[in-house]
Structure 1
Amino acid sequence: MLREAHGPSEEQLGFVRRLLTSESYLLSEHLHRLDPEARHRRFGHDVSDDFITRYASHAGDFGNVTFGYFVEGELRAVAELRPDNLMHGAAAEVAFSVEKPFVNRGIATQLMGRVIRTARNRGLRHLILVCMPDNAKMQAIARHYGAELKIEDGSVIADIVPKDPDYQSWVGELLDERMTYLHSALDLQKRVRGSAEL
């Protein structure tokens, strides 16, 4: 059984890593834990539990890349990079979700940095972030990374233009990828141990 989050302590510093394709169930669990307001912000409309289950099962499709913020082995925030195949690989949409006890801790900014580096290394020219007009936090994060913002159909559209890749971006991603499988195994051990203690 998954432990509920009661708010992170100072000792509970998380870290960011890519989710493996086999870990789509973690994305599903995370999205199910979002409160109704957070779900609405993530998807732009109200969604059911069944919708979330189906959505998460396709997280690794079509070149999608999902990054997660883990605390004590549990996935507490997510950034999804979803290439727009209609634009022939030139653009991708990015979407975020953070569980309520973990908001206002700079997690989305960390995740955005990882997403932008990945976009650079894949040659993407535009990262599109769609958010609600009252989501000032995401708009501020987008501006922090140099985004142009405009309003379309009642939503705020942020367009971030990644820099070209360089040696540092390539090596950084390579090192992170080498650690992904190790951290995945360690996170699984923490979750199993936590379930056994309940």
Structure 2
Amino acid sequence: MTPSASARSEVESLRWNETLDNGTKLLIRAIRKDDVELERDFIERMSPEARRMRFLAHVNAPSEELLKSLTDLDFDRQMALVAIIDHHGKEVEIGVSRYATGADRTAGECAVTVDDDWQHRGIGTLLMRRLIEVARARGLKRLFSIDDPGNEKMQELAGDLGFSRHFDPQNPHEVVHSLDLS
């Protein structure tokens, strides 16, 4: 689905330059349709465990269909922000946060993933804070994530960001983190 002109214009303006505590500079921006190779490289660098936690399934190599669904978004209902560093003149994706809303566009299911080698540096927090900011500005009332109960990193991040936590009554193998945005 093609995003509306206003959504496309808004998305193009979503750019933040950030500096990590260690001095590393990164750019957080909305994902683009032409970021397929960035996203492929990012997913392929993930450990099998990180891919399982992110997709709640075993994913070996990302399919073209999966990559398209992750980069060619309907920005009226979806958002993805990527964290990018410059590595010897080449853009490298080191993290991504995203949400997708239902038909009513009041709540969004969100996720965040950070490259294994870049974890514990505040990137997940930066990505989620920017995603929350965008979601609020776009009128969402709630963000939630569905996670593996063993994903301690996500539990810690969600707690730090103010998300509440409960087990999914229909699936005891999943935990739901929820944040009221109103």
- Normalising TM by the smaller chain, what interval? 0.7 to 0.9
Structure richer in strand, relative to its length: 2
Alpha-carbon separation, structure 2, partners of 1:17 and 1:159: 24
Per the alignment, in what secondary structure is the counterpart of residue 32 of structure 1? helix
Per the alignment, in what secondary structure is the counterpart of residue 25 of structure 2? coil
Unaligned runs of 5+ in 2: 1-19
Q: Which residue of 2 aligns with 1:104?
A: 120
Q: Which residue of 2 aligns with 1:113?
A: 129
Per the alignment, in what secondary structure is the counterpart of residue 143 of structure 2? strand
Q: Displacement of 1:12 after TM fit?
A: 3.2
Match of residue 78, structure 1, among 96, 110, 129: 96
AA aligned to 1:139 is Q
Task: Kindly report structure 1 stretches of 4+ aligned residues shifted beyond 4 Å.
Answer: none
AA aligned to 2:84 is F
Match of residue 38, structure 1, among 50, 53, 59: 50
Q: Which residue of 2 aligns with 1:66?
A: 80
AA aligned to 1:19 is I
CA 1:117/1:46 → structure 2, altered by over 3 Å: closer, same or farther? same
Q: Displacement of 1:39 after TM fit?
A: 0.2
Matched, 1:122 2:133: no
Q: Which residue of 2 aligns with 1:155?
A: 174
Per the alignment, in what secondary structure is the counterpart of residue 113 of structure 1? helix
Of structures 1 and 2, the one with the larger relative CO (CA 8 A, separation 6+) is 1
Q: Displacement of 1:11 after TM fit?
A: 4.8
Alpha-carbon separation, structure 1, partners of 2:180 and 2:24: 33
* Structure with bigger gyration radius: 1
Q: Which residue of 2 aligns with 1:190?
A: none
Q: Which residue of 2 aligns with 1:27?
A: 39
Q: Which residue of 2 aligns with 1:193?
A: none
CA RMSD of aligned residues (A): 2.0
Alpha-carbon separation, structure 1, partners of 2:54 and 2:154: 11
Q: Displacement of 1:50 after TM fit?
A: 4.2
Q: Which residue of 1 aligns with 2:59?
A: 47
Q: Which residue of 1 aligns with 2:25?
A: 13
Q: Percent identity?
A: 24
CA 1:28/1:82 → structure 2, altered by over 3 Å: closer, same or farther? farther
Aligned length: 153
Per the alignment, in what secondary structure is the counterpart of residue 54 of structure 2? helix
Per the alignment, in what secondary structure is the counterpart of residue 74 of structure 2? helix
Q: Contact 2:31 / 2:81 at 8 angstroms: preserved in 1?
A: yes
Q: With structure 2 as the length reference, what TM-score do the two structures score?
A: 0.76
Q: With structure 1 as the length reference, what TM-score do the two structures score?
A: 0.70
Q: Contact 1:62 / 1:83 at 8 angstroms: preserved in 2?
A: no
